[in-house]
C-alpha cells in the first residue's frame, strides 16, 4: 500500500513537471531585430548581425550590453576603426529557455534557441532562416552568434551562401564567471573571430604539430573559400604573397627574435602548425596573446590590407549617386561612405579628360560639354596606406554614362522648330551620316538618322531659340 502511494506521488510530480515544460514552450520565441549602428543602406554596407544564443528571457539587457561592448571594441582596431562607415550592425534578440551554465551541473542538454551545445554544434539552418527573414538577398551579412555564458565556443569561417559572407561564433567561456576573463577579452576574441569570417584570414599562432612537407597552400585553405592571404608554405622571397611589405634588410625566412618584432617578414609557425607554415608578423590580432596580461595585438599590415580589400569586394562607393535632370543641366551627385583617416578621391572625366576632381557633385551643361555624344565617367579611388597591392583594382571603382547634348533642331535657322524643319529632317530620314551637312540631323550622334532622332526632334517641336 505504501509503495502504491509513493508511485502516485512520483506520477503527480512527473505530471507537474510536464505541465511546467508545456507552459515554458507556450512563451513566444519570436526573434526581433534592433539596429545598433546604421551607416547607410543595407544593400551597400557590410551588415554585422548578432544573434542571441543561450541568453534567457531575463538576460536581454545583458545581451544588448554584450553586443555594444563587442562593437565598441572591434571598431577600436584598424582598419575597422577607419572604415566604420562601411558597416552596419544589427542585433537579433530571441530568448533561449536555458542558459548553458544553468543546466550543466545536472548533466542535461540545455534548451537553447539555436541549439548550441559545446563544440560548434548549432543549428545552421535555423540561424540562416532567422537572419534571412530580416534581410534582402542582395544584402551582405556576417553573422555573429553571441553565446550567453560559459561553455561557449570559438570559431569563424566563410560561408558558401552568397548572401552570407561569413559566420563567427563568439567565445564567451568564463566571460562573466571567471575573474580572468573580462568583457574586453571577450570583445577581442569577437574581433579575431569576425576577421576570420569576414576576410578569410587564418590564425597566426602555432600549435604542437608541424605541417606535413609537400602540402600546398591550397590544401590549407579550410574553412575558407580561398587560401588565407596571411599564411604560406612559400619560402622564396620573390614568391611570398606579402613580399611588397617585406623590406630588403629583413631576411626571409625571418628569425622570431626581438629585433624583428615590429617587422613584416616570414615567420615560421602559423595556422596552428608549429612549422612548415609561415606568417607575416610575430604579433598580430590573428595570432597569440596572453589575455590575462595584455590586450590583443593590432592586426598586422598584411591582415589590414586584406580586410580593406575584402571591404571593397562588397561595397561599391559609386553606388549611391543621383542624377537630377534639368532643362540644360544635369547634376550628378555621389555620396560614398568615407574612411575617417583620409578622403576618397572622386574624379570626373568627359571623353577621357579630367574635368573635375575632389567634388561629389558634377553638373553637365549642354553648352559646356559641347554638342554631341559624350562619355561621362565618375571614378572613385581609395588610396589608403593600408593597401599596397591591388592587382584586381578593388579600390578603383567607376561608373560611366553616355551623355548626349543636343542643339535646337532648327535646321532652317528661323528661330523655331516647326514643320519646315520637320520636312528637312524627313528628307534625310534613314540615311547614314557621311557628311557634316547630314550630321546635324543625327541628333543622338549614333551615325544614322533614325527613330531615335525623330523622338528627340518631336520632343523639341514648337521650341524657340
Ligand atoms: Zn596578421
Tens digits of residue pLDDT in 159-209: 888 899 988 877 655 444 454 567 777 788 889 999 999 999 999 999 888
Tell me if 431 is assigned to some domain. Answer: no
Residue 269's pLDDT is what?
Answer: 94
Cα 316 to averaged position of ligand 1 atoms, centre (Å): 25
CA 281 – ligand 1 centroid, Å = 6
Would residue 31 count as lying in a domain?
yes
Q: Ligand 1 centre and the CA of 196: distance in Å? A: 11
360 and 307 in a common domain: no
Distance, CA 199 to ligand 1 centroid (Å)? Answer: 11
Compute the distance between CA of residue 140 and CA of residue 45 in angstroms, rounded to an integer.
Answer: 7
**Which residues face 448 on adjacent strands?**
432
Q: Identify whether residues 145 and 229 lie together within a single domain.
A: no
Does the residue 430 lie in any domain? Answer: no
pLDDT of amino acid 319: 95
Ligand 1 centroid distance, CA of 203 (Å)? 8
What pLDDT is attached to residue 104? 58
Centre of ligand 1 to C-alpha 140, Å, is: 24
Tell whether 437 is covered by a domain: no
Tell me how far apart the alpha carbons of residues 248 and 274 are, in angstroms, rounded to a whole number.
26
Q: How far away, in angstroms, is 285 Cα from ligand 1 center?
A: 6
* Residue 215: per-residue pLDDT: 83
Q: Do residue 30 and residue 173 come from a single domain?
A: yes
Q: Are 270 and 329 part of one and the same domain?
A: no
Predicted local distance difference test score (pLDDT) of residue 177:
43
Q: Which residues of the chain fall below pLDDT 50? A: 1-26, 119, 174-177, 179
Q: What is the whole-number distance in angstroms between the Cα of residue 241 and the centre of ligand 1?
A: 13
For residue 119, give the C-alpha cell: 563544440
> How many angstroms is it from 267 CA to the middle of ligand 1?
11
Measured in angstroms, how far is the CA atom of residue 372 from the centroid of ligand 1? Answer: 52
- CA atoms in the 13 A half-sphere facing the CB of 414: 9
- Using the mean position of ligand 1's atoms as its centre, give its distance from the Cα of residue 230 in Å: 6
Distance 170 CA to ligand 1 centre (A): 19
Identify whether 435 is part of a domain.
no
Final residue of a structural domain among 135, 169, 199 = 199
Distance 146 CA to ligand 1 centre (A): 24
| Structural domains in the chain (count) | 3
Tell me the CA–centroid distance for residue 145 and ligand 1, in Å.
23
Tell me, in angstroms, the distance from the centre of ligand 1 to residue 438's CA: 64
> Residue 147 C-alpha to ligand 1 middle, in angstroms?
26
Determine the distance separating the centroid of ligand 1 and the alpha carbon of 390, expressed in angstroms: 18
Expressed in angstroms and rounded, the spacing between residue 53 Cα and the centre of ligand 1 is 29
Residue 17: what pLDDT?
42
CATH, residue 369: 2.60.40.10
305 alpha carbon – ligand 1 mean position (Å)? 9
CB 233, CB 215: distance < 8 Å: yes
Whole-angstrom distance, CA of residue 396 vs CA of residue 352: 16
- CA 298 to ligand 1 centroid distance, Å: 8
Domain end, chosen from 355, 373, 405, is at 405
Q: Are residues 91 and 26 in the same domain?
A: yes
Spacing, Cα 264 to ligand 1 middle (Å): 10
Same-domain check for residues 193 and 334: no
- Indicate the residue among 405, 425, 459 that finishes a domain: 405
What pLDDT sits at residue 180? Answer: 53
Q: Measured over all CA atoms, what is the biggest interatomic distance in the chain, rounded to whole angstroms?
A: 121
Centroid of ligand 1 to alpha carbon of 79 (angstroms): 12
Give residue 236 CA to ligand 1 midpoint distance, Å: 19
Q: What's the pLDDT at 406? A: 74
Give 303 Cα–ligand 1 centroid separation in angstroms.
4
Neighbours of 374 (CB within 10 A): 17
pLDDT, residue 175, reads 45
Residues 52 and 171 in one domain: yes
pLDDT of residue 463: 79
Note whether residue 127 is domain-resident. yes
Domain that includes residue 368, residue range: 316-405
pTM: 0.83
Ligand 1 centre and the CA of 359: distance in Å?
Answer: 35
Distance 57 CA to ligand 1 centre (A): 38
Say if residue 292 is in the same domain as residue 322: no
Give me the CATH number covering residue 126: 3.40.390.10
Judgement on whether residues 360 and 376 belong to the same structural domain of the protein: yes
Task: Clarify whether residues 150 and 168 are in a common domain.
Answer: yes
Q: Are residues 161 and 284 in the same domain?
A: no
275 and 392 in one domain?
no
Amino acid at each position: 500500500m505504501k509503495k502504491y502511494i509513493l508511485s502516485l506521488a512520483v506520477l503527480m510530480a512527473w505530471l507537474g513537471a510536464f505541465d511546467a515544460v508545456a507552459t515554458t514552450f507556450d512563451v513566444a520565441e519570436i526573434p526581433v531585430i534592433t539596429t545598433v549602428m546604421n551607416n547607410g543602406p543595407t544593400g551597400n554596407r557590410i551588415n554585422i548581425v548578432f544573434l542571441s544564443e543561450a541568453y534567457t528571457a531575463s538576460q536581454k539587457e545583458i545581451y544588448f550590453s554584450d553586443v555594444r561592448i563587442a562593437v565598441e571594441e572591434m571598431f577600436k582596431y584598424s582598419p575597422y576603426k577607419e572604415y566604420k562607415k562601411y558597416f552596419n550592425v544589427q542585433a537579433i534578440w530571441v530568448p533561449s529557455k536555458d542558459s548553458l551554465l544553468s543546466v550543466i551541473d545536472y548533466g542535461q542538454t540545455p534548451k537553447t534557441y539555436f541549439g548550441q551545445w559545446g563544440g560548434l554544434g548549432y543549428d545552421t539552418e535555423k540561424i540562416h532562416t532567422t537572419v534571412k527573414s530580416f534581410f534582402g538577398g542582395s544584402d551582405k551579412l556576417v553573422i555573429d552568434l553571441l553565446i550567453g555564458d560559459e561553455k561557449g565556443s570559438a570559431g569563424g569561417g566563410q560561408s558558401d551562401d552568397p548572401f552570407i559572407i561569413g559566420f563567427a561564433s563568439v567565445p564567451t567561456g568564463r566571460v562573466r564567471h571567471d575573474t580572468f576573463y573580462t568583457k574586453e577579452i571577450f570583445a577581442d576574441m569577437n574581433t579575431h573571430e569576425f576577421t576570420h569570417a569576414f576576410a578569410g584570414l587564418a590564425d597566426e599562432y602555432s600549435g604542437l604539430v608541424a605541417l606535413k612537407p609537400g602540402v600546398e597552400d591550397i590544401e590549407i585553405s579550410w574553412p575558407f573559400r580561398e587560401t588565407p592571404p596571411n599564411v604560406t608554405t612559400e619560402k622564396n622571397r620573390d614568391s611570398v604573397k606579402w613580399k611588397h611589405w617585406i623590406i630588403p634588410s629583413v631576411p626571409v625566412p625571418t628569425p622570431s627574435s626581438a629585433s624583428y618584432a615590429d617587422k613584416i617578414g616570414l615567420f615560421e609557425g602559423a595556422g596552428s602548425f608549429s612549422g612548415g607554415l609561415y606568417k607575416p608578423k610575430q604579433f598580430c590580432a590573428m595570432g597569440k596573446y596572453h589575455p590575462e596580461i595584455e590586450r590583443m595585438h593590432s592586426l598586422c599590415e598584411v591582415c589590414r590590407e586584406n580586410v580593406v580589400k575584402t571591404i571593397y569586394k562588397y561595397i561599391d562607393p559609386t553606388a549611391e549617386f543621383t542624377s537630377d535632370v534639368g532643362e540644360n543641366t544635369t547634376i550628378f551627385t555621389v555620396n560614398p561612405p568615407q574612411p575617417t583617416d583620409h578622403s576618397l578621391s572622386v574624379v570626373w572625366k568627359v571623353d577621357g579628360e579630367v574635368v573635375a576632381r575632389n567634388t561629389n557633385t558634377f553638373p553637365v551643361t549642354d553648352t559646356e560639354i559641347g554638342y554631341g555624344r559624350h562619355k561621362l565617367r565618375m571614378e572613385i579611388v581609395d588610396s589608403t596606406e593600408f593597401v599596397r597591392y591591388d592587382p584586381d583594382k578593388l579600390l578603383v571603382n567607376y561608373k560611366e554614362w553616355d551623355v548626349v547634348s543636343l542643339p535646337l533642331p532648327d535646321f532652317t535657322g528661323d528661330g523655331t522648330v516647326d514643320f519646315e524643319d520637320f520636312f528637312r529632317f524627313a528628307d534625310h530620314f534613314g540615311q547614314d551620316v557621311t557628311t557634316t551637312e547630314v550630321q546635324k540631323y543625327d541628333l543622338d550622334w549614333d551615325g544614322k538618322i533614325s527613330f531615335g532622332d525623330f523622338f528627340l526632334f518631336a520632343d523639341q517641336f514648337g521650341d524657340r531659340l
